[in-house]
Structures are given as structure tokens and as C-alpha cells.
Structure 1
Amino acid sequence: MATTALSGVGLTIAIPLVTRAMIDGPIADRDLSALLPLGLLALALGVLEAVLIFIRRWVQSNAVLGVETTMRHDLYARLQQLPMAFHGQWQSGQLLSRVTNDLSSIRRFFGFGLLFLVMNVLQLVVVTLVLLKMYWPLGLVVAAAALPIIALSNRFERTYVLVSRRVQDQQGDLATAAEEGAVGFRVIKSFGRGPFVAGRYNDSARTLYDTSMDKVRLSAKFWTFLEVIPNFAVVVVLLFGALGVGRGDLTPGTLVAFITLMLSLVWPIASLGYILAMAQEAMTAGARINEIFDTEPSIVSGAHVIERPRGHLRLEGVGFAFPDQPDEPVLHDVNLEVAPGETVAIVGATGSGKTTLTALVPRLYDVTAGRITVDGIDVRDLELGNLRQIVATAFEEPTLFSMSARENLLLGRRDATEADVHAAVEVAQAQFVHDLPWGLDTRIGEQGMSLSGGQRQRLALARAVLAQPRILVLDDTLSALDVHTEKLVEEALRRVLADATGIVVAHRASTVLLADKVALLQDGTITHVGDHSELLATVPAYRELLAADADLEEVGA
């Protein structure tokens, strides 16, 4: 690519020199026999230049697309490596803006701006030297025209980078507003807040528009100035060049070649502003992307692999505080042991830390005190892929993807057979998937919004069951089910939990009965562990938590 670019600059200079030879030679001497070879040479040089441009564009496009694809892959992989704490602090729209807009800015600069920046600077230097050699008085005019351009470019660069960063940040804010409006449209409609949300979106769009117009005005002033200087220089060259021909200081062919070469500098000079603007956008985009790459993952995979896990889970003095609130621990001094094949129900008031506790087992967060072990090995020493094959989680707020029901189910276990899939569907009482228009192959829409809350929970539960984990974590997974469906699911889950270690976050007494024992979580720690009937009879706090449940009297009887 560098060879074709350099050859292109050489041809840009060679063609006007052949034109000078034609005018001062065969045309001035009226020697038509010598005109044809020079004409054919000029044509051949023009064709060669076109071929080189094609080769350069083809090679360049392949290289740039390869770089963009690699960067996109690395950026997405990095986002997957970063922990929940990172994603909890960043707006999804800001991340989306970096993955799309910022990478596109870098690709445009690599694909166009970088090459032409090098070529145009090289062409400016080489052609100016040639012009000085051809007729130095006019060459000085061309060289002098570059001085104000350099000074203005330096000033433009400092201002433009600040405006460009504001535009890119505001694009991320606008993407966030658009995404939240699309995902939360049911809530917006149910509260009749469409005009309000639209107003907030319009405010963000207006802010972006105003900042973008500041950017346009800045660029317009710069580019206008760049257009004026070359045109003024052309007028001066024409005036003094005509005088030079009249005095016999230079030949007509030299003047034509000089003007042709000078006009070849109009594009490099005029495009300088656009290329510099593109460079600043790419630099800003690179800085924004580096904010992600420079974030060190706080959860690092260990090296140990458990080949045949038993699922013996222990929590030893576990404590946890969110990174932005290190002095306010959510959990402290949590001790719990769950033997292989045993199921424990975690019961506690809203906000007591139940969901956080379950998230520590698969290392969605890392403990800040104590340790969690699986089969006697600290989960921080386990290879992450191995740990998350051992542990499967079904969340209260299930996340489904814009793909078919089958693909959503197979996320946890790609090699599952059709029989395995149907068995998991039966356990989760998710037979509704067979009634969808194309059965399991029906696309269920983004976030599974085409399904009811209970259907989404059952599909997510089936996905966790299909993974056949040694440790199954159910974070209040049955909360959206009606009593009849819940009873059927619980009966099927008993068979599944008989072969796995289970942790069940429970709010209903009926769900508690899935467990072999109950752990009461109060004020960030486990205060009581025991049989459901025992805790119901001896622990008032436990009895109060379940007092509102309609099943209490029946269960306690």
C-alpha cells in the first residue's frame, strides 16, 4: 500500500512534466511526429495511476476492515470479562456508542484519513520542492501559503477535540435514552408518560444538535479559510507567471506544468481540515474505547479445574461490600454449608442481601471478606468457565435474548439433545413453547417481551435446569407463577434438586418446602439455620416473614 501511495505521488508529478515537454517541444516546434509518443506516454501514466488507486483502495479496505473486526471482537470480549460492578456503573447507551460510533470513527480514519494525511503531506513537500526548482519566485509564493495553514490547523486542533468529545459523549446519552424508551415501553405506556419520556429524549437530541452545530460552525470556518488561501495563491501564480512568460523568464510549458502541479495541491490543502477533524474524532474515540480496555477486571479466572464436581458448597466468614460503598457492607460473617445433594432455602426481608449472596457463588461478584469453596476449593482459584458449568443460576428477573426459544435454552449447554431440552421444558412447566407459531424455533423478541412474566421465568428456569449443574441457584425464580403452576414446577424441581446442591431464595412457605433446611438472613448475616418447622416454632422473625403467606396455616399444621 505504501508503494502504491508513493508511486501515485510520483505520477502526480510526472504527468505535468510530460505535459511541459509536449508544449515546449513538439507543439512549440510544430513537430507532430514527436507529439504522438509523448501523448501515449501521458495516457499510459494516467491509466497506471488509475490502476494504482484501485490496488491501494482494495488493499487498504481489506486491512482496515480486518483491524475493525479485530477491535470489535476484542472490545466485546473485554466487556464480557469486566465484572457486574463495572456494568452496573456504566450506562448501556454509552457502551453501545463506543462499540458502534467510536469504532466507526476509528475505521474511517484508518480507511481514509491516515493514508491521505501521509500522502497529502508528502505531496505538499515534494511538489513544493519541484515548484521551487522549476521557478523559485513562484515556488516561494506556494511555500508562503502553507504558513497560515499550519498556524490555523494547530489552533483548530485544540478546539475541535473538546467539541468532538462532547458530541460523542452526548451521542452515548442519546443512545441510552433511546434504549431505555424501547425496553421500558410497557411501563411508559401503562403510566401514560409517553409525552414526558419523548420530551426528555427531545431534550437530549436538542443538546446533541446544538453541540454538533458548534462543531459544524468551527469546521466551516476552518475549511473556508483553507479554500481561500489556495485560490488566492493560484491568482498570484497566474499573474506573476504570465509576467514571467512575457519577460522570457520561463516557457509556456513550464507555466502550464507549474499551474497544473499547483492545482494538484488544492485538494491536499483543502482536505487537510477534514482529515484533521477526522483524526481528532478518531483520537477521541480511541480515548473513549481505552477507558474500557484500561479498566482492569476485578474478577480474574483461576487455573484449577474440578473434573468431577460433587457440589459441596461452603461459605466461610463471607463478607461483601460494593466497590463504591466499601464502608457499608451488604453481607458480613456469613457462614453456611450445603452438602452435595442438599438444598437450602435463603429467607430474609427485602434488601437483606439474598440476591447478592447468590451472586457470589458463580462469582458475578467477588467476596470482600472470607471465602466460598466448592468441594474444598476456593471459587477464586477455579477456572471461571469450569465454575460456571458447575453453578447455574435462574434469576428473578430473567434475561432472554432476541433469538429462538431453543437458542435461549441452549445458552447454558450447547450439546444438549432434543430429549434433554424437552425434559427441561417439562420440569419448568414451559410447555407453552410448543404452542408458539414455530414451536421451539420461534423467535421470542428482545428481552422476551412477547412472553408474559411467568413464561419468561419458566423459560429461564428451564435453561438453568438444562445446564445440569452440580449447584443450582434459584433466585426467587417462581415469584411470577400462579399457585397451580408453581405447585407443578415445585414437584418437578424436587426431582432435579435431589441430584444437585440447591440454593433457593424463597418468599413463600410453599417454596421453602423444596429445601432440606432453611437459612435466615438478617442484617447482612445468617442468624439461624434449621428445619422449616423448627424455625417457624422458635424464631419469631422467621414466622413474621412468612406470616403473610396464604400457605402458612396449611404448611404449619
Structure 2
Amino acid sequence: MNSTVASRFSWGLILASIDFLACLLFACLHDGTFKFANFTSQFGDFSFFTSTIDLFLLQFFRFALWMVPAAIHVANKADTLTMWKEPIFCSALLICAASPTKLLLLTEKLKPDEFLTFGDTAFLVWNFISAIILNSSWTRYFSRTPSSYIILEDEDLEVAPKQTFELIFRLLQYCKREWLWHISGFSWLFIYSITRIFVPYYTGQVIATVVATKSYPALSNAVYIMTIISLVSAVAAGFRGGSFEYAYARIQRAIRYDLFHGLVKQDVAFYDAHKTGEVTSRLAADCQTMSDTVALNVNVFLRNCVMLLGSMIFMMKLSWRLSLVTFILVPIIFVASKIFGTYYDLLSERTQDTIAESNDVAEEVLSTMRTVRSFSCENVEADRFYGKLTHTLDVTRTKAIAYIGFLWVSELFQSFIIVSVLWYGGHLVLTQKMKGDLLVSFLLYQMQLGDNLRQMGEVWTGLMQSVGASRKVFEYIDREPQIQHNGEYMPENVVGKIEFRNVHFSYPTRSDQPILKDLSFTVEPGETVALVGPSGSGKSSCISLLENFYVPNAGQVLVDGVPLEEFEHHYIHKKIALVGQEPVLFARSVMENVRYGVEVADTEIIRSCEMANAHGFIMQTTLKYETNVGEKGTQMSGGQKQRIAIARALVREPAILLLDEATSALDTESEHLVQEAIYKNLDGKSVILIAHRLSTVEKADKIVVINKGRVEQIGNHETLLKDTNGTYAKLVQRQMMGDQKPRKRPAVARSGPQPAASINVAGPSQGNAMSLLSTSFSQSASSVTSH
């Protein structure tokens, strides 16, 4: 027996022994004096109305439950411990219900002036307390697996899912933020609930007055009081509703802001692993579900709590015996609610996941509508979306079936409570233990209590729906990004020296595939460096590291001799500007797109657009600089988007300019304009460019050839060509040979201007070598290395 089994067996045995001794003691005090005969005699002369031996036998059931943890460990099934928490909780509730049941049975045969003995009273109280101890010991100690005592050091290990009550408490914190409006709502709610509590009592008085006295003055007085109560109740209900409605809106704003703020702080690797559609679904559907259900259910829950408490007080005052009938059955309803709520929590989480999947499909298709239309896949995508919706429907159908079962159980118990109250109430009236005119008021309170309990059950269902929706939301809010922007270094000037020092890197989503392997090179201030190499060699990864999208696995990226992570986040991103192959513009005006992220005057915006060769076409539009570029810049051509992106980079007056294939996707004319805009603004800036065009590469001060994550060659165009055994020269030679081969295709008469030839580098035939160092390089790498 290991230490865990021994410990839990010992604790279970200690608690069970205390329980046994207490039950034996109270059984021996059955008639008020301590005698062992009081215990033994109850076996021979057993009666539910006089004996307490059944409570003693109930102790053996608790003993078995306390021994379960040790038995589970002996069977090597420790991972199933948490599955026992719900059955233990339900068992504890049922044990609690045994005390008021036994109290009614023991007092049934007592005379009006007689009371229970100390032993029997203590036995009833102990049975209630022992059930609480049973559940608490399981929750705090027995149900915890051994691993829960160990502090996990590995940050990559998955965090255990948050518990249901922890999530509910977290949700209620949002209500706490809007305390002013909730105080207003709760105040009016309290007034409303108090007035509603008196309605059954005075309704019963009206009926009793009509039946018993048949007096109009008494009837008028009762109706007058009912009218005042109803008016106050209506006014309070209106103010209560308005206060809570505004509080709901503020809570929804807070939840969505917290989630969005948490999302925009995440590193780029997070969005590599999570689809945009899924994330936006959490921001839209899940936040809506959380704010609506939690705020509404808090309102309903508190209203019913006040009315429930008031009703119970009145019911106890009218007849404590009849009230115990309700208190006996309420725990049973709670058991059904608990079982249903746990299952409903699981189904709600599954529902939100399926909704996120369908929203992801919708977002992906709508954002790529041109591609969908060009391949005539409208019906294919519609069917795929329908499949996701059907999956959601399947889960919802299961929820509906579960809800039907819950309503059946709930309604049956409500009816059973009413029937039980009617029978037992009639029995009390007939035995003269209760006045007949109070039975009507009690029945009205009973129906109100049943309605309160039903609504509280729906509150639990609603909260479970909120819990299901909130798991991922809180997971995203609480997630700490891998890259923390805690740097504070802000020098007066950035010279622009860039150094990659022994950098090793792999993407977080593909950590087993190294991209950069001990890569090192330097960019001097004001120098233009071209990175060339095959697709997947690591060129764009260098740009991503310099933009601090990711962090190296080993090595450092330095700017002016300082590690990049030590710079203040906003400062360094004003000094480093990126122009990509497909620049993303926002659905805003040209002016807002160029000004994005910086505060500059309109004149600076115009000057940057002039430098980027963008001012001319901007002024030709109807609204000029207020022209909306459309979603992701769809209202602009490729060349226009590139020039606006260049203007956006230049307006920041960067010390470092990153050009990631900025002209590879453009036509000849657009390429000429963009290249002109780039090269006339490079003075004094350190530039790293990735290019497929030989005409762009040959102008660089230095060329860095990267292959399979390593630097193979460094030098300028002429120097690298002289090294005839080098990779760069072989690629140029191979490209030239490929262009000189005759093409086997029928001649086609061409009309109009011919494409302009690029700058010659190594001979006349090289004029058409426009795409040298990307696709051709990747296709020929194996051939080159075999020479």
C-alpha cells in the first residue's frame, strides 16, 4: 500500500469512526438518558415513528463512501476519482433530506406539549452535519489526484480546465464592476420581491374573508391592500428592469473589450495555431451568450432568492410541519438539477465549439470570395457550411432531449410536492394541528415557492450555458503571450546596424522542423542587403524575427548592438518599417491607412505619398485622400496598394526598412513605379530586401545566399559571379542556359508594345532572367549540388 492509499484510507477510517461513535452515542441517548439498552431495544421494537435506528444504519452508507478513495487507489483507478464528486454531492443532499423526513415521523405521535429528546434531536442534527462533512472531505481532499499536489514546472503543459463554480464566480465579477447600476437594480428588486411575498397571504385572506365572514368591509380592506401592493410592485419592477438592462449592456462591453484586448496582445504564433473565424466567433457568439445569460440570470436568481426566503419564513410561520414536506423534496430537485446541469455544461461547451467551427468556415469563404467564384465552388462551400450547421444541430438535439428529461423530472416533483402538501395539510387540519383558513395561504405560498424553485433551476441551466461559452473566452483572456514586450530601451537615435548572431529558429506550430540553423550575418548602417535562397530556406523568417513576431530558439537578433527584445515595443516598431508582398490595407481612407500607428500632420502624409509615387493616383480619385480603399485594399490595384504601403512605411521615418518581395507580384509598369519609389528613398536607411527579380538583387550592396537555414555565400553581385563554383554563380548560369533553350510552342503573332527587358547583368541573354532566386532556385538546387 503506497503512501497516498494509506493516507486516504486512514482519513476515511478516522472520519467513519467518528461518525460511527457519534451515531452510537445518540442512539444510546434515545430516551434522554445514556443506556446501551436504548440502542439494542430499537432493533426488536422498530417503528419509523419512534425509532432512530434507521439513522444509525444510514451511517454505514457514509462509511462506504469514505472508503471509496482507498478502494479506487488499490484498483489503480485514481484517474476516476473526480468522476465521483457529483454522485457524492447528490448522495450528501439526499442524506440531508433524511433529517427533516425523520423529524416529521418522530413528531407525528407526539402530543402538542411534548418535545423530542436531546438524543433524537442531536441525532437529526448530526445526520445533517455528517452529510456536509462527507461532501466537503471529498471536495477538498479525497477527489484530488496525486498529481494535483505537484507544481508543474513545464509551461508547455496544458492547464487543467477551470471548474464550473470558479467560472461562475469569475462571471459574477463582471456584475461587481457595474456595482452602481446593480445597487439600483437590487434595491428595486428587493422592493418588488417583498411586495410579491405578501400577495399569497392577502389572497388567502380575501378567500377566507369571502368564505368565512361574507363581509363587504373586510373584503374591501383586503382588496385595497392588494391594490397598493400591486402598484408598488409594478413601479419597482419597471425601475428594476431598466437598471439591469443598462447593466447588461455595460457588462457585455466589458467582456468583449477584455477578450479583444487579450487577443490583440497575443503573439503571432497564437494566430498560426488558431483560425481567425474561430477566434471571431468567441468574440461575437460566446461573449453575447455570456453577457446575456449571466446578467439576466443574476437578476432572476436574486429576485427568486428574496421571494424564496420570504415565502419560507411565511410558510414556517403558518405551519412548520407542512413546510418540512417542501424542504424534504427540495434537495431531491437539486440533485436532478445538479445531474442535468453538469451534463448541460458539457453540451453547451460542445455547442459553442461547433458554432465556432461553422463561423470559421463562413469567415474563410466570405474573405476569399473571388477564389471561390473563380473555381465555381459556391455549392461546395455552401454544402460544407451546411455540414457544420448540421453538426451544431446534432449537439443541440441532444441538449433538447436532455432538457426534456429535466423538465419531466422537475414537473413531476413539483406536482408531487403539491399533492404531498395537500394530503399532509389536510391531515394536519383534520388532526387539529393546523387551522383550516391558513391552508389556502400556505398552498399559494407553496405554488409561489415551486415557481421560484423552477426559475432557479432555469437559472442554473442558463449559468451552465454561460460556463460552456466562457471557458474558451477566459482561456484567451488569461493566456499570457510567449513574447512579452517588456523592453524599455529608447535611444535618441537608431543608427541601423543589424546583426543576426548564431540564430536557431523553428516555428512554434512546427517545432520539430528547424528553419534557421546557426545563421549569422550583419547589415551595416545605411547598407542595402538582399536575402536570396530557395522557398523555405528561411528568408522571410529573418524578417519575422527582426519584426519581433517570434523569438529565436537560440542566438540573438541585435539592432545597434542591443538585443531586439530590450527595445521599447512601440519605439522600435517606429524605427523598423515593413513592406510585404501583399500589404494589408484597412477598410479606411487613404489618409488613415498611411497615418496608421503614428501621429503626424496631413502635410507629412502627403509628402510621404509623393515620395512613394502615390500622390498622383490618389489625387485622381473622387475623394482624394479621404477615399476608402475597401476591405483589405480591394478598391486599389496591386501597384497602388504597394505604393500606399510604402508611404505608410516612409511616414514613420524609419532607420531600418524591410522589403519582403515587395515587387514580385506586380506588372512591369507597376514594378517600375514601386522600385522607383523604393530606391529614391533608401538613402541613410539600412535595408533588408527579399526579391525574386534579378534587377532588384543586383543593385544591393551585399547579397546573402541562404540555403536550408544556413548562410552559404555573402558578397555583392559581381563578387559572387566571379566565384564560378559558388551557388549564386551556378544559379545565374543555369538561369541563362534555361532562357537560351528554344521553347517548343507555336508562334503567336503579338501586337502592341513588347515587355520591357530587365537590366543586363552577365550577357544579352540574361535580359529575361526576371525570376531568378526563388522558384528556379528551388527547382535547381538539387541539380546544382550534384555538379
The question of a shared fold, defined as TM-score above 0.5 by the shorter chain, is answered with: yes
Query: Within 2, Cα distance between the matches of 1:482 and 1:545?
Result: 24
* 1:417 alignment partner in structure 2: 602
Give the secondary-structure state (helix, strand or coil) at the position aligned to 1:186: helix
Give the secondary-structure state (helix, strand or coil) at the position aligned to 1:282: helix
2:709 is equivalent to residue 524 of structure 1:
yes
Query: Within 2, Cα distance between the matches of 1:374 and 1:542?
Result: 28
2:638 is equivalent to residue 432 of structure 1:
no
Give the secondary-structure state (helix, strand or coil) at the position aligned to 2:517: strand
Structure 2 counterparts to residues 26-175 of structure 1, below 5 A: 28-29=212-213, 32-33=216-217, 36=220, 38-136=222-320, 138-175=322-359
Query: Within 1, Cα distance between the matches of 2:519 and 2:391?
Result: 48
Query: Within 2, Cα distance between the matches of 1:217 and 1:41?
Result: 45
* 2:86 alignment partner in structure 1: none
Query: Within 1, Cα distance between the matches of 2:656 and 2:212?
Result: 94
Letter matched to residue 440 of structure 1: Y
Structure 2 counterparts to residues 229-244 of structure 1, below 5 A: 229-234=413-418, 237=421
8 Å CA contact retained: 2:365, 2:381: yes
Query: Within 1, Cα distance between the matches of 2:641 and 2:731?
Result: 27
Query: Within 2, Cα distance between the matches of 1:52 and 1:377?
Result: 65
For the structure 1 residues 24 and 273, does the alpha-carbon distance in structure 2 shift closer, same or farther, using more than 3 Å as the test?
A: closer
2:371 is equivalent to residue 187 of structure 1:
yes
* CA deviations over 1:45-86 (Å, ceiling 9, x no partner): 222223333333333334343333223222212212111111
Structure 1 residue 33: deviation in Å? 4.7
For the structure 1 residues 141 and 431, does the alpha-carbon distance in structure 2 shift closer, same or farther, using more than 3 Å as the test?
A: farther
For the structure 1 residues 365 and 499, does the alpha-carbon distance in structure 2 shift closer, same or farther, using more than 3 Å as the test?
A: same
* 1:356 alignment partner in structure 2: 541
Structure 1 residue 31: deviation in Å? 5.3
8 Å CA contact retained: 2:348, 2:469: no
RMSD: 2.9
Q: 1:311 aligns with which of 496, 502, 516?
A: 496
Q: 1:400 aligns with which of 567, 575, 585?
A: 585
Q: 1:541 aligns with which of 727, 736, 739?
A: 727
Structure 1 residue 35: deviation in Å? 5.2
Structure 1 residue 34: deviation in Å? 5.6
Letter matched to residue 762 of structure 2: G
Structure 1 residue 211: deviation in Å? 1.0
For the structure 1 residues 417 and 157, does the alpha-carbon distance in structure 2 shift closer, same or farther, using more than 3 Å as the test?
A: same
* 1:488 alignment partner in structure 2: 673
Q: Could you state the TM-score of these two structures normalised by the residue count of structure 2?
A: 0.66
For the structure 1 residues 425 and 218, does the alpha-carbon distance in structure 2 shift closer, same or farther, using more than 3 Å as the test?
A: farther
* CA deviations over 1:251-274 (Å, ceiling 9, x no partner): 675344223322323432333343
For the structure 1 residues 523 and 556, does the alpha-carbon distance in structure 2 shift closer, same or farther, using more than 3 Å as the test?
A: same
For the structure 1 residues 346 and 20, does the alpha-carbon distance in structure 2 shift closer, same or farther, using more than 3 Å as the test?
A: same
Query: Within 2, Cα distance between the matches of 1:457 and 1:430?
Result: 13
Structure 1 residue 125: deviation in Å? 4.5
Query: Within 1, Cα distance between the matches of 2:641 and 2:203?
Result: 75
Segment drifting more, 321-330 vs 32-41: 32-41
Query: Within 2, Cα distance between the matches of 1:488 and 1:394?
Result: 15
* 1:554 alignment partner in structure 2: 760
* 2:32 alignment partner in structure 1: none
8 Å CA contact retained: 2:589, 2:625: yes
Q: 1:367 aligns with which of 523, 548, 552?
A: 552
* 1:507 alignment partner in structure 2: 692
Structure 1 residue 338: deviation in Å? 1.9
Letter matched to residue 193 of structure 1: C
Give the secondary-structure state (helix, strand or coil) at the position aligned to 1:74: helix
Query: Within 2, Cα distance between the matches of 1:287 and 1:271?
Result: 24
What is the identity percentage for the equivalent residue pairs of Structure 1 and Structure 2? 28
Query: Within 1, Cα distance between the matches of 2:417 and 2:546?
Result: 72
For the structure 1 residues 304 and 29, does the alpha-carbon distance in structure 2 shift closer, same or farther, using more than 3 Å as the test?
A: same
Structure 1 residue 429: deviation in Å? 4.1
Structure 1 residue 90: deviation in Å? 0.6
Letter matched to residue 130 of structure 1: F
Structure 1 residue 159: deviation in Å? 1.4
For the structure 1 residues 414 and 298, does the alpha-carbon distance in structure 2 shift closer, same or farther, using more than 3 Å as the test?
A: same
2:667 is equivalent to residue 475 of structure 1:
no
8 Å CA contact retained: 1:349, 1:522: yes
Query: Within 2, Cα distance between the matches of 1:508 and 1:545?
Result: 13
* CA deviations over 1:192-249 (Å, ceiling 9, x no partner): 2222222221111111111111112211221243234334544555677678779987
8 Å CA contact retained: 1:27, 1:35: no
The gaps in structure 2 that reach 5 residues or longer are 1-182, 740-755, 764-787
* 2:566 alignment partner in structure 1: 381
For the structure 1 residues 483 and 430, does the alpha-carbon distance in structure 2 shift closer, same or farther, using more than 3 Å as the test?
A: farther
* CA deviations over 1:85-141 (Å, ceiling 9, x no partner): 111001112211211121112212321112323443453354234224313454344
Q: 2:510 aligns with which of 318, 322, 325?
A: 325
Query: Within 2, Cα distance between the matches of 1:23 and 1:145?
Result: 28
Give the secondary-structure state (helix, strand or coil) at the position aligned to 1:154: helix
* 1:268 alignment partner in structure 2: 452
Query: Within 1, Cα distance between the matches of 2:321 and 2:515?
Result: 79
Give the secondary-structure state (helix, strand or coil) at the position aligned to 2:595: helix
8 Å CA contact retained: 2:611, 2:681: no
Letter matched to residue 728 of structure 2: Y
For the structure 1 residues 436 and 204, does the alpha-carbon distance in structure 2 shift closer, same or farther, using more than 3 Å as the test?
A: farther
2:521 is equivalent to residue 336 of structure 1:
yes
Segment drifting more, 161-170 vs 486-495: 486-495
The gaps in structure 1 that reach 5 residues or longer are none
Structure 1 residue 487: deviation in Å? 2.0
* 1:277 alignment partner in structure 2: 461
Query: Within 2, Cα distance between the matches of 1:74 and 1:514?
Result: 48
8 Å CA contact retained: 2:608, 2:650: no
8 Å CA contact retained: 1:9, 1:123: yes
For the structure 1 residues 488 and 146, does the alpha-carbon distance in structure 2 shift closer, same or farther, using more than 3 Å as the test?
A: same
Give the secondary-structure state (helix, strand or coil) at the position aligned to 1:496: coil
Rg (Cα) greater in structure: 2
Query: Within 1, Cα distance between the matches of 2:224 and 2:628?
Result: 63
8 Å CA contact retained: 1:457, 1:480: no
For the structure 1 residues 453 and 427, does the alpha-carbon distance in structure 2 shift closer, same or farther, using more than 3 Å as the test?
A: closer
8 Å CA contact retained: 2:698, 2:716: no
8 Å CA contact retained: 1:81, 1:297: yes
* CA deviations over 1:451-478 (Å, ceiling 9, x no partner): 3434333332332222221111111111
* CA deviations over 1:372-424 (Å, ceiling 9, x no partner): 22222211111111111111111212222222233222214232424533532
Query: Within 1, Cα distance between the matches of 2:675 and 2:664?
Result: 12
Structure 2 counterparts to residues 219-230 of structure 1, below 5 A: 219-230=403-414
For the structure 1 residues 253 and 497, does the alpha-carbon distance in structure 2 shift closer, same or farther, using more than 3 Å as the test?
A: farther
Structure 1 residue 19: deviation in Å? 3.7
Segment drifting more, 354-363 vs 292-301: 292-301
Q: 1:259 aligns with which of 443, 457, 475?
A: 443
Give the secondary-structure state (helix, strand or coil) at the position aligned to 1:554: coil
Query: Within 2, Cα distance between the matches of 1:69 and 1:428?
Result: 42
Structure 1 residue 524: deviation in Å? 0.8
For the structure 1 residues 448 and 129, does the alpha-carbon distance in structure 2 shift closer, same or farther, using more than 3 Å as the test?
A: same
8 Å CA contact retained: 2:587, 2:628: yes
8 Å CA contact retained: 2:695, 2:759: no
